[in-house]
Amino acid sequence: MAIRTIRTMGDDVLRKTCKEVTEITKRELTLIKDMAETMYEADGVGLAAPQVGILKRIFVIDIRDENGLMVFINPEILETSGSQTDDEGCLSIPGKTCPIERPNYVKVRAFNEKGQQFILEAEELLARAVLHENDHLNGVLYVDHAK
């Protein structure tokens, strides 16, 4: 495992759309481990592959609850509802936060690192994290949602 360099705002890779993962190989598994280690080292709650310069539809989240580390490969947002506004930050925009309105509930379908499909229903912080990281896969940063 290795700590990877987190790309920061202004880096073109953060504005690109990521490609779907067609096969989970040793390379993807190494990437996932490195992303988790990088996220923990930076004291973040989520990290998407483009934030470490890789244009693949993968992100990791750990909001420090009973779920622990969660891996999302090829996530698809199925449903959202409600509303919440809270300060949001990003490892790619260090030292800054901004109040962002997002849905309070999200239903997402994805694959884990073992290639098993799952559906997750999340609220509040976990919903915010899923939506934030999913945005990265489409070249969107949280500041794009600022009013």
To the question of whether residue 132 is assigned a binding role by annotation, the answer is yes
The CA R_g of the chain, rounded to the nearest whole Å, is 14
Q: Which domains does the chain have, with CATH numbers?
A: 12-145 (3.90.45.10)
Work out the pLDDT band at 147, boundaries 50, 70, 90.
Answer: confident
Active-site residue set: 133
To the question of whether residue 90 is assigned a binding role by annotation, the answer is yes
pTM of the predicted model, to two decimals? Answer: 0.97
Work out the pLDDT band at 24, boundaries 50, 70, 90.
Answer: very high
Using CA atoms of 90, 17, 133, 58 in order, give the dihedral in degrees to the nearest 10. -120
Give strand pairing partners of 47.
60
To the question of whether residue 136 is assigned a binding role by annotation, the answer is yes
pLDDT tens figures, 37-96: 999 999 999 999 999 999 999 999 999 999 999 999 999 999 999 999 999 999 999 999
Q: What is the pLDDT of residue 117?
A: 98
Answer yes or no: is pLDDT of 145 > 80: yes
